[in-house]
Chain A
Amino acid sequence: MIGHAMAVAHKDLRLAFAHGQGPVQAILLGLLLVFMFSLSAQPGERFTPQQGVAIFWLCSAFGVVLIFSLLFRFEEENDTATALLLSPLPIQGLWLGKTMAGFVLLALCQVFFFPAALVFLGLDPGGSLGSMLVMVVSVDLGLCILGGLVGAMGHGQGAKDALLTIIVFPLQIPLLLGGIRIGVGLMQGEDLAGLGDWFGLVLAFDAVFAGAALFLFPHVFRGE
C-alpha cells in the first residue's frame, strides 16, 4: 500500500505544480489573513503569542480546505476516480497518497506563513525550533489525515468547498486548540515534556482520525 500511496502522492504533487499553480491560492489567502490581522493592531503594538499562533493555525486551517479541494479535483476531470477504483490500488492507499501530498503542500504553505507571522504580527519565536517543528508536524498530520478523508466526501459534488468547510472546521478544533496551546507554551519557554497533556491530545486525535479514515474512506470515496 505504501508504494501505491507514494505513486499517488508523487502524481498529485506533479499535478499541483504543473503550470506553476501549486498551492498558490492557499499561500496567498494565508498571507492576506496575516496581513489583515496585522492591520488590527496599533503601530508598534505586538500581538500576544496566543493571538499570533491562533492566526498561524487559522491560515493553516483555511489552507487545508483549499489544498484538499485541489487534490480531489484532480480525480474529477476525465473521471480518473473510476480508473483508480478499477486499478489494483488499495483504496486506503489513495487516501494515504492524498494525505501525504496534502502534508507536503501544507508544509510548503507554512514556510510562508511562519515568517509572515513573525514579521507582520511581531512575534518572538523563542523556545526550541526542534520542538516547534515536532508540534507543527503533529498537528499538520492530523489536519491532513482529516483533509484526506473529508476531501473525499465532497468528491464529485458541486458544493465541495462549502461541504469541506462545514465538516472540516468543527473536527479540526481539538487539533487547532492543541496547536495553539503547545505553540504558546513553546514560545514562552516551556519544553514539550511540560506540555505533554496537550501533545497527547493532538497525537490521540491524529490516531483517531487515522483509524476513522482507514475505515470510512473506501465508503466515502465510492459514495456508498
Chain B
Amino acid sequence: MMGARPLLRLDAVSHFFGSRLIFKGVTCALEPGSIMLVAGPNGAGKSTLLKIMAGLLTPQAGRVERTVPDRAMAFMGHQTFIYPSLSALANLEFWDALYGRRLDQAGIMALLDRVGLKAFALEAAGTFSRGMAQRLSLARALLVDPLLLFLDEPATGLDKASLTLLHGELEKARIRGAGIVWISHDLERDLPRADTLLRLGGRAMTYFGPASGLDVEGS
C-alpha cells in the first residue's frame, strides 16, 4: 500500500526532558500496511518516541501528524494495561465499552479464543503468567481492529507459542492495512518482518529507510 496517504508522519521532531536532549530531527512516515521497526541502544529515546507518535507526549519541536482517529489506535507497552482483579472477560468488556464498539459477549469470547485464553475467560487476570497477561493485552489491542498499532517490546517474556501468535496477528493486521510501529531489541528476529527501520542513537535519528537488504550488524 505504499504511495497511499501515510497513517503517521513525523517532521523534524525533537524532545527534551528538562534541559536534557533525548533526540532531535526525527523525520519519518508510516504507510498503511507496513511495519516500522524502531531500534537503538538503551536510553536512546525509543519509548519516548513511541509515546510522541501515539500522542501521549507533545514534542518540544517538530510536527506529528496522524490520520487515524483515537478509536482506531492501539498501544501495547511494557505494561499490560489490564486490571488484575477483573477477569479476562471483564477486562475486555470494559475496554470494548470505552472504544464504543459494543462487541457482545460471544464476540469477546471469540477474541479470547483467538489468543488462546477462552478457557481462562472468567479467571482474574492477576493470576495470569506474564505470557498470558501479554496475550490478554494483545486481545485488548485487537479489540479495536487497529489501523495504527504501537508496540513497545511486545515480545518481552513471551514463550515461543505466544510469540508465534503475536507475529501471526501482526501479519494479519498488516494485511488488513494497519500501520505498525514496533520497538524491538531483537533485530535478528524482527528485522525480516519490517518494511522500514528507524534507528536512534547519539541523541538523533541515525537511519530511516527500507529494512530490506540491511544486515543486523550494519543496521
Interface residues of A (CB under 8 A from B): 3-4, 7-8, 10-11, 14-15, 18-19, 74, 77-80, 82-89
Q: Is the CB of A74 within 8 A of B79?
A: no
Q: Is the CB of A82 within 8 A of B97?
A: no
Q: Is the CB of B70 within 8 A of A78?
A: no
Residue in A79, A80, A88 whose beta carbon sits within 8 Å of that of B100 in the complex: A88
Q: Is the CB of B95 within 8 A of A78?
A: no
CB neighbours (8 Å) of B75 from chain A are 82-83, 86
Tell me how many residue pairs across A and B have CB atoms closer than 8 Å: 67
Name A19's closest neighbour in chain B (CB-CB).
B85
B73 interfacial by beta-carbon distance below 8 Å: yes
Residue in A3, A11, A85 whose beta carbon sits within 8 Å of that of B83 in the complex: A11
Q: Is the CB of A18 within 8 A of B85?
A: yes
Between-chain CB contacts (< 8 Å), 26 pairs: A4-B98, A7-B97, A8-B98, A11-B94, A14-B90, A15-B85, A15-B86, A18-B85, A19-B85, A74-B83, A77-B83, A77-B84, A79-B77, A80-B81, A80-B82, A80-B83, A82-B56, A82-B81, A83-B81, A86-B54, A86-B75, A87-B70, A87-B99, A88-B71, A88-B99, A89-B98
Q: A11-B86, A15-B85 are in contact. List 4 more A-B contacts (CB 8 A).
A: A8-B98, A11-B83, A79-B81, A83-B95
| Complex Cα–Cα for A10 and B97 (A) | 11
| Complex Cα–Cα for A79 and B140 (A) | 14
If A86-B55, A86-B70, A86-B73 touch, whether A78 touches B98 (CB-CB below 8 Å) is no
If A7-B94, A18-B85 touch, whether A85 touches B99 (CB-CB below 8 Å) is no
Nearest CB of B to A222, in Å: 9
B80 interfacial by beta-carbon distance below 8 Å: yes
Q: Which B86-109 residues sit within 8 Å CB-CB of chain A?
A: 86, 90, 94-95, 97-100
CB neighbours (8 Å) of A3 from chain B are 97, 100
| Complex Cα–Cα for A3 and B101 (A) | 12
Residue in B55, B77, B86, B140 whose beta carbon sits within 8 Å of that of A18 in the complex: B86
| Complex Cα–Cα for A86 and B80 (A) | 14
